[in-house]
Structure 1
Amino acid sequence: MSADAPEHQPGVAPSVDPSITPSAPRTQRPGVVSGQARRTGGRRSADNPHVDVSRKPKHRRTSTEPRRRELLQALGIFQRATPDQLWKLTRPGNRHDRLTRDNLLDLEDHQLVRIESTGEGQRQVWVLTKRGHGEAKQLLEPKGIRVSVLRKQEYDPDTGELLGTGYDDHAAAVTSTAAELHRAGIGHRLGFQTEIGHRLGSGFVQRADLVVRAPEAGVPVLLVEVDRRTEDAHELVAKLRRYWEWGRLLPKDADKSKVDLVRSRPDAIEHVDHDKRLWRRFYPPTGREGLVPVAFVFADTTAAKVANAVKVLEGAGRRYWAPRRYDSLYEKAVTALDYRQAVPVVITTLEKLQEHGADAAVWRRLGRDGEQTLTAALDNPDGHALYRAQEARAEAEDERRRAAEREARRPVCSRCGRKFSDERWEEITVHRTAVRAGHKSVCGPCRADDVARQEAAADAARLEAAEPPEPQDVPDPDRVRGWFRRRN
C-alpha cells in the first residue's frame, strides 16, 4: 500500500465507487430490455415515426365477421380453449382447424384474444383480452347467457412470468366434452353453460360442470359431470344425491297447501307435479319421466377405474336413479317401471366420444346392459307408456274373463232351454223386482207368455162378469089376472 494512501480503520467499511458496484441480478419482464423501466402508457408514435399507430390492422382474407363472432362467443362461454376445441365448437363441418387458427390470429391482431399458454405438442390455449371480453358480453348477455370471468394478464413481481397460464386438465376435459357434443349435432355453442349452481335447501350449491340444452337433438336439458377419477366414487354418489334432492324442492312462492303437505310427510313431494317444483323454473320439460338427467363423463382414466365407479354408482346410488314398480291392481300383468321420481343417469368416456362421436352408441344407462345412443339411453321404453298399454290390456283381459264367468253362471229356462237375458236375470235377482218376477226358472219370453195368458184369462173373467143375465119366461098379465079373477 502507498504511503500516501489513508490508513484503513478497523470496523469501518471502506467507501466504494458506485460506478464499479456490481449490480444485483435482475430478471426483466417479457418485452422489456434490461435496465429499461417497463412502460405502462402503451405504444407512442415517437417509437417509430414510420408507423401510424392509429391505423387499425386489416382483417385477413380468410377471416369473416360471422367466424370471428362465433369465436368470441365460444371463448366468452368456456373462457379458455384450444384451436381444435374452437373448431369443433364453431365450424365442425370444416375438415380441419386451419380457418379457425387464421381467425384467431386475426382477432389477436385486433387485440381481442391472446395466447395464454402453449402446452404439449405446441397446443395453444387462447383466451379473451379485456377488450374481447367486453365484445363477448355484448354478444352473449342480450341472449341471457352468462359470460365467464375474464382471464387477467398478470405477472409475477419477482420473476416477471405470466401468472395463471396453466390450463387445468379438468377444464380442458369439460370444453372437449362440449366440443364433441356440438360436433355430433347435440347442442349449440349458445346452448352450453358451465359451472351452473343448484342451491339446496341447506344452502349448499352443487355446480354442474356443463349444462347442455339441445331440444332439436331430443335432449332438452342434460347436466354433465366430468370426472378424471380425481374424486372418490362415493363423491359422485353424493353429487347424484344432491341433484336428486334439488329436483324435489318447491319454489319459494309455492302454494301454502303444498308446502304444508310436503312438510307433513317426507314422501308427499312425490304427489306434487313436476311443473310445480323448483327445477321447472330453470329448465324446460325433459319430455320423459323423471327429474333432470345427469351424465358422468370419465376422462384420462382406465377402464377398470370406470367400471369400479359405475359399480359404486349403481349400488350406493340406487335410491336416486332406480325406478320403482307401479302400484297396480294387475301386479302380475304390469311389468312397467315408474321413473317419475328417479334421476336418469348415463355414463360414457371422453375417449369414446372423440373416437366414435357423441351421436354413436357410446352411452350406458345405469341399470341397463350395453351401450346406446344418448336419446335411446335417456328414453324409458319400459316406463309410463308401457304401463298404460299393459294396464289397458290387463283391464280388457279382466273384463273378458269376468264376462266369461258371468256367462257361465247365466240361468237357463226350464221350459224352452234358452239363456236368460240380462234384464230377466236382473229381474229375478234384485229383491225389489224378484217378488213380482213369477217363476224364476223361466226366461223372459216364457214369462211374458205366462203373463199374457194370465191377462187374457183375467180379461175374459171381467167380460163375463160384465154381461147382463139372460131373460126368463114371464106369464101373460091378462092370463094371470084371469086365473085370480073373482067371480061375481
Structure 2
Amino acid sequence: MPWWPWLVCRTASVPPAVSPSAAPTGHLAPGRRIRPAQRPNPGRRRILTTLFSRLSAFGFGLWLWRCRLVGSGCCTCGGLFLFSRPAGAGRALVGGGGGGRIRGSGRGRGTRANNGLGGCQERRISLRGSSRPRPPGEAREHPSEPRPTRRQRRPGRRRRTRRADRPGRTAYRRGTANPNGSTTALRADVLGALGVLKVATADQLQRLLRPRAASNTVIRQALRDLALHGLVASDGNTRDRHKTWRLEGTAGLEAASHVLGLPRADMGSTARGAGRSGAQHAMAVNETISAFVLGGTASEAAGGVGTVTDWATEVEFLLPGGRRKVRPDAVLQAPEIGVPVLMVEVDRSTMAPERVAAKFTAYRELFRTKVKSTDPALAEQDPTDRTVHWWRRTYPGPHTRPGYPPVALVVTGAGPVALAGRQEAVADLSAEIWRGQWWTVPQDDNEGDGWREYDDAVPILATTLELLAEHGPLGPVWWRYGRPGRHSLLDALENPNNRAAYNQRQKAREKKARQEHRDWMRTLACADCGNIPKEESTWHYGPDGRHVEWTRQPGGRCWTCHQEHTERLEREAQEQLEAARAVNAALRPCWTCRGSIGGKEGSKLELTEKASPDRLECPQCEQDRAVKDLGPLVLPTPTKREQVAALVSTPDDPWWEVRVLHAKLYPVRSRKA
C-alpha cells in the first residue's frame, strides 16, 4: 500500500484547525477520514496555523509533482486534489481542499462531497485517460498522465486472449467504438432497413436482413452499437413485448440516406413516439413487406420479390389543388418482373369499408394528373401533346399494361370469413374505380359480347396477410377485382375482358361458325358431281335471262347440274309425250270432241302417257263435264238393226263394246231423259 499524501487547504474566511486528536500527517492510516476541526479562537495560534498550512501546501505540492502524482485544482476554493495511481492498482488517493473529501473506488472515479463548510458542489473526476489512442509522437496533455508503453497497440486491433474456462476457444476483445461487436456491413444494413421501415423490431430486421441466422442476437448487437452513436433509439414495445427501434434525429436520417443513396428530403420522419403505443399498423406493414421479400412459408411456395431497399414508406403525393394528399402504406418498385410501381394499402380491419373504398377514388384522381414530359423526342410537338402522367416520369419502366398503376389491398386483423366479406364489400363500393368502360361492336355476330377499356381504371388486387405470408406474392393469393378466382401477381395484373380478350373470343366464335358452315356445306354437296358449295344460296341467270337465287338443299344438286338435270328431264318428258301422243292417236277418239283421246296437243291437260282402255273422253272434255255437273258419260244403247248387223259382221264403231256394256248397266228406263 503506497503512502497516502494529504494536503490541508485553508481559506482566508474560514480557516479550519487541525484537531489535536488527529494523527500526524506522515502516519495517517489508509482509508481513515479527517474530521473537520472546530473553529479556533483568534490569536497567535491562528497565525501559526495559517502559515503552516500555506507552507505545507507549497512543499507537499512540489514533492507530489516530482513523484508523478496526478493533481488538479478546485475551481471554487483553489484547493489541490491529489490522486495517486500506482501500477496495477485502480484506486484513487485522498486529497483535500475546502474541507471536502474524495472517496476512491476500484473503477478509478472520485467524487467530492460537500460537507457544508466549503462552496464546492458534487463533482466527478475521471482518473482514466481518453479512450482515443494517441498517435505516436504526440505529446501528453498533462505531465501527470501515465507514460505510454514501449510497444504501442494499433487502434481498433483486437487482442487475443485465452480463457481457462473455455479451452480451445479464442476470445477477442471488442473495440471501444462498437463495444457490442457488430460489423460495419450489418450496421449499414440495419440503418438502411430502418430508413425504409421507419419502425421495426429486431426479429423483423433479422428476417429481412439475415434470414438464415439462428437468432436476432447480431441484429440486437448492431442496434445497441448504433444507439451508442445516437443513430437509433427505442420508444417502446409491441403487444408481444418486442422492443421497437427507429432512427434517432437528423443524424440517424442522414446516415440512413447515405446508405440508401437518397436525398435527405425523401427520407421522411423518424416516427418518434410510434413505439409507445405498440406501432400496430407499422408492424402489419413490416410483415407485408417481409412476405413480399422473403416469399411464402409453405413447402411449395414461390420465392420473394426484390429486397427491402426496393420499398418506400411514408411517401406523400399531393392531389391537384395542393390541399389533399394520398399516402400509401408502402410503395414497391420491381421493374425486373414487369412491375414498375405497386402501391400497397394495409387494412387491419379497424376502418369502415367506405373509407377504404374512398382511398381508391383518391388514387384515381392522383393517377389522372399529368405533367410536362422531358423526352427530347417530343420537343417539337404541340405543348398539349408533350404532357404525360406523372407516374410514368417518376417511376420509369416497362409500362406495357394499359391503365393506371396497380394498388394492392392487404387485409388482416380478423377471421377468414370476416376478411373475405370485407374484400367483397370494398369491391362493391369501389366498382366504379376498377370496372372500366363497356364497349361493343354491333356489326359483329357476338351475341351481345363486348369488352372493357381500362385506360381510366385502377387495377385493384386484394388478399389477406395470412395468405400472402404462406404462399408469397408470386403464389395464387391475389383476387383481381372483376375476375373470378385467385391468381399470382403477374397473372392478376393482366387486364381481364379487354379488347384483346374480346378479339380472342370473337376469333373463337368466328372459327366455330366457319367450322359449322363447312360442316353444313358438306351436307349440301352436289349429288351428281360432288361439288361442295361455299354458300348455301347463290344467284344465277335462268333460261329466261332473269336473275335467279338458287338455294342448295341436302342431297341436292349444284346450279349447273340442276340445269343439266332439268334439261334432261325436259327432253325425257318431251320424248315421253311424243310417244304418248303416238299411242293415244292410235286409240279411239274422244266421244265428245272426236279428238285425240290424249287431249289437244300442247295443252296443259294433254296426257303424257297412254290412255286407259275405259277412257271415253279427252281430259279437256272430262273437265268441262265436271264443271257443268253433267254426271257420268253414258253411251247410247245400240238399236235392233245395229244388233242384227253385228251378228253378220263386226261393227266398225270403236265404242260398240262400251255401248253394249252401258246398255246392260244402264237400262233405258233408268236413264235420265
* TM-score computed with the length of structure 2 as normaliser: 0.45
> Aligned partners of 2:240 and 2:253: how far apart in 1?
27
For 1:151 and 1:196, the matched residues in 2 are separated by 13
Give the superposition deviation at 1:412.
7.6
Q: What residue is the counterpart of 1:281 in the other structure?
A: 393
Match of 1:92 in 2: 211
Alpha-carbon deviation of 1:210?
Answer: 0.9
Return the alpha-carbon distance in structure 1 between the equivalents of residues 190 and 507 of structure 2.
Answer: 54
What does 1:32-431 correspond to in 2, within 5 Å? 47-50=125-128, 52-54=130-132, 57-59=176-178, 63-94=182-213, 96-130=215-249, 131-142=251-262, 146-150=266-270, 165-184=276-295, 185-203=304-322, 204-251=324-371, 276-284=388-396, 285-328=398-441, 329-330=443-444, 332=446, 336-380=451-495, 382-390=497-505, 409=538, 411=540
Q: Distance in 2 between matches of 1:72 and 1:199?
A: 28
Partners of 1:192 and 1:304 in 2: how far apart? 30
Deviates more, 1:79-88 or 1:303-312: 303-312
How many residues align? The count is 353
Greater relative CO, 1 or 2 (CA 8 Å, sep 6+)? 1
Q: What code does the residue aligned with 2:446 have?
A: K
**Following the alignment from structure 2 to structure 1, what is the Cα–Cα distance between the partners of residues 414 and 125?**
53
C-alpha distance in structure 2 between counterparts of 1:51 and 1:359, whole Å: 58
Matched residue SS, 2:317: strand
Deviations 1:18-41 (A, max 9, x none): xxxxxxxxxxxxxxxxx99xxxxx
Three-state SS of the structure 2 residue aligned to 1:409 is strand
- In 1, Cα distance between the equivalents of 2:314 and 2:288? 14
1:200 Cα deviation (Å)?
2.5
Moved more, 196-205 or 71-80: 196-205
Tell me the distance in 2 between the aligned counterparts of 1:231 and 1:47.
Answer: 58
Structure 1 residues not aligned, in runs of 5+: 1-34, 37-44, 153-161, 260-271, 415-488
Asked whether the 8 Å contact 2:236–2:275 carries over to 1, the reply is no
Q: Distance in 2 between matches of 1:276 and 1:410?
A: 56
CA distance in structure 2 between the aligned counterparts of 1:51 and 1:351, rounded to whole angstroms: 56
Q: What is the alpha-carbon root mean square deviation over aligned residues?
A: 4.2
Aligned-pair CA distance for 1:388 = 4.2
| SS of corresponding position for 2:426 | helix
Report SS of the residue matched to 2:328.
strand
Following superposition, the deviation at residue 141 of structure 1 comes to 4.4
Task: Among all aligned residue pairs of Structure 1 and Structure 2, give the percentage whose two residues are the same amino acid.
Answer: 30
The one-letter code matched in structure 1 to 2:444 is Y
Deviation at 1:188, TM superposition (A): 2.4
Structure 1 or 2, whichever has the larger Rg, is 2
Cα deviations across residues 215-235 of structure 1 (Å, max 9, x unaligned)? 224432111111122221111
For 2:421 and 2:382, how far apart are their aligned partners in 1?
Answer: 44
Residue 293 of structure 1 aligns with an amino acid whose one-letter code is P
Structure 1 residues 96-130: Cα deviation after superposition (integer angstroms, max 9, x where no partner): 43432333233334443233223344301112234
Q: Which secondary structure state, in structure 1, belongs to the residue aligned with residue 315 of structure 2?
A: strand
Query: Structure 1 counterpart of 2:367, which letter?
Result: G
383-392 vs 307-316, which deviates more? 383-392
Q: Normalising by structure 1, report the TM-score.
A: 0.61
Q: How far did residue 293 of structure 1 move?
A: 0.7
Counterpart of 1:147, as a letter, is M
Q: Secondary structure at the match of 2:370?
A: coil
Residues of 1 paired with 2:274 and 2:509: CA distance? 69
- Aligned-partner Cα distance in 2 for 1:395–1:163: 62
Counterparts in 2 of 1:427-466, with a 5 A limit?
none
Q: After TM superposition, give the deviation of residue 398 of structure 1 in Å.
A: 8.9
Deviations 1:375-418 (A, max 9, x none): 2222235434434444556678899989x86795365898xxxx
- Compared with structure 1, are the counterparts of its residues 163 and 77 closer, same or farther at alpha carbon in structure 2 (3 Å cutoff)? closer
80-89 vs 126-135, greater mean Cα deviation: 126-135
| Cα deviation 1:428-461 (Å, max 9, x = unaligned) | xxxxxxxxxxxxxxxxxxxxxxxxxxxxxxxxxx
What's the secondary structure of 2:313's corresponding residue? strand
Which segment is superposed worse, 85-94 or 50-59? Answer: 50-59
3-state SS in 2 of match to 1:276: strand
* 2:453 alignment partner AA: D
Secondary structure at the aligned position of 2:326 is classed as: strand
Runs of at least 5 residues in structure 2 that lack an aligned partner in the other structure: 1-112, 115-122, 134-174, 296-303, 519-532, 544-673
Alpha carbons of structure 1 residues 95 and 335: separation in structure 2 relative to 1, 3 Å:
farther
Counterpart code for 2:326: Q
Change (3 A) 1:141 1:322: same
Deviation at 1:240, TM superposition (A): 0.8
Q: Report the CA distance shift for 1:200/1:151 in structure 2 as closer, same or farther (over 3 A).
A: closer
Q: Secondary structure at the match of 1:196?
A: coil
How far 1:317 sits from its partner (Å)? 1.3
